[in-house]
Structure 1
Amino acid sequence: MWGYLSLVPISLALWASAGVWLVFAIAVINRDVDLTKDFPFISKCGSFPPQSCIFSQVLNIGAAMVVWICIVRYYQLRDWGVKTWPNQLILWSGILCALGTSVAGNFQEKNQKPTHITGAFFAFVLGNIYFWLQIILCWWVKGLPQPGAPWMAWLRLGLCSLCTMLMVAMLVLYSSRLRSTSAAFEWAVAMLLFLLFGLFAVDFSVLEGCTLSLQPLRSLTPRPSASPGLHSLPLASPPTPETLKP
């Protein structure tokens, strides 16, 4: 049976997917986007209140879950014997992806377009790089555990390749002013990234749990005496029979 750690990647995939489509639905109902004219980008759906508030909350919680997944994955790879520098490279690419997601959610395109575009770049590009680094690591390190079915590695390779191709096509179509098709590709890329994060449930299924251990900090100064100044006082000599005489 899968451990409770497997629920976090699944929850992320479901939360993020349902959240952005909820924002899309509210934007259509409020007529902030017009589907008869063109298909909207994700950022356009989340630019106007009240759906902009939901958009920010969905991406902030999703970014926090991504950070949690990246940290657990870092320690899992470390326990499998992966060297520090490639492991840290993977970790920081995932954390920057989460940071970009949060920035894109909090700085809407309508209010802060340059900041929003920067956050979206980090979210999409570094998110894709994060999974490519995982795939390269599995090929580079021989004997690395591969939880799940044998075809899981090929599924991830196919999803990563499709995500990269759609991302390149999205940029080409956007520069060619084919905005509706470009927006549709953007939604597809987002769903693929959510799915790739959700597949970490397979890797985390071999984990029985996680523990937090705290190590005491070594003091640089000696411990103070229980009774300060005790050693500086003269010790009284025991009484003798002569001193007890009246």
Structure 2
Amino acid sequence: YFIAVEDDKILPLNSAERKPGVKHAPYISIAGDDPPASCVFSQVMNMAAFLALVVAVLRFIQLKPKVLNPWLNISGLVALCLASFGMTLLGNFQLTSDEEIHNVGTSLTFGFGTLTCWIQAALTLKVNIKNEGRKVGIPRVILSASITLCVVLYFILMAQNIHMYAARVQWGLVMCFLSYFGTFAVEFRHYRYEIVCSEYQENFLSFSESLSEASEYQTDQV
């Protein structure tokens, strides 16, 4: 955003409603459309996609032994994985380079991202880890509602060509997503994750080794 504003590619978010033909509204996709801003945008989105994927897997592992019906937990994992994939499309295919793929990535990111927020909010209230379900679940419900409202409001403003307000809503939507993912720290602090790497050792002897040991034993007996 700051690079694009500095290069006069977009208007600042605090600008009045833009006039036709005067710069661009500060949409995220437009801000990250031209280099060098596009390079930073791609890198940030790829890193965000990786971190979201890590959160998806850790959250799934965390809730797996605590839920009776795993379908909701699996749905949360799949939804966030699809949102992560959408982030890579969104970041690596700029708007002017391939608008169709870029829009598909946007739909996956915001669509499945919103679905993920509602699923995780429901799981939070249902599982109630360390009796903190309400303390964490209620803010997540509020953030999920805010995200949903931003998505609906964004499309309404876009349809009416009110671009400056639509761009502000889009940035607000992203801030809500970031705030939502920050809430996972509350529950992750109760858990310790380890990656164990060990060499596989066979607990049985091969047939030839068994015969060899048996023959040696018989020779000793003789």
1:210 matched to 2:196? The reply is no
> Which residue, out of 148, 151, 158, partners 1:164?
148
Taking only aligned residues, the RMSD between alpha carbons, in angstroms, comes to 3.0
Q: 1:104 aligns with which of 72, 78, 90?
A: 90
Change (3 A) 1:100 1:29: same
Residue equivalent to 1:26:
3
C-alpha contact 1:147 1:202 (8 A) present in aligned 2: no
- Mapped partners of 2:190, 2:74: distance in 1: 22
> Which residues of structure 1 form unaligned runs of 5+?
1-23, 237-246
Q: Which moved more, 1:153-162 or 1:59-68?
A: 153-162
TM-score, structure 2 length as denominator?
A: 0.82
TM-score (norm 1): 0.74
Q: 1:227 to 1:156 in 2, by over 3 A?
A: closer
Q: What SS is found at the alignment partner of 1:161? A: helix
| Number of residue pairs the alignment of both structures matches | 209
What is the deviation of 1:229? Answer: 9.6
Distance 1:94 1:151 in 2: 23
Structure 1 position 172, deviation (Å): 1.2
Question: Which of 104, 118, 133 is the matching residue for 2:119?
Answer: 133
Q: Which structure has the larger Rg over C-alpha atoms?
A: 1
Is the 8 Å Cα contact of residues 128 and 134 (structure 2) preserved in structure 1?
no
**Displaced runs of 4+ in structure 1, greater than 6 A?**
215-219, 227-231
Name which structure has the greater RCO, CA cutoff 8 Å, separation 6+.
1
Summarize deviations over 1:144-203 as a string: whole Å, max 9, x none. 325648443221111110110111010111111112211111111111001101110001
Q: Out of 24, 43, 46, which is 1:60 matched to? A: 46
What is residue 180 of structure 2 aligned with on the other side?
196
Q: What is the Cα deviation at residue 213 of structure 1?
A: 4.0
Q: In the alignment, residue 100 of structure 2 is paired with which amino acid?
A: P
Structure 2 unaligned runs (5+)? 13-17
The one-letter code of the counterpart of 1:61 is: M
Distance 1:225 1:26, change over 3 A: same
Give 1:1-246 correspondences, 5 Å limit: 24-35=1-12, 37=22, 39-139=25-125, 141=126, 144-145=128-129, 148=132, 150-207=134-191, 209-213=192-196, 223=206, 225-226=208-209
Identity fraction in percent: 25
Shift of 1:132: 0.2
SS of structure 1 residue aligned to 2:167: helix
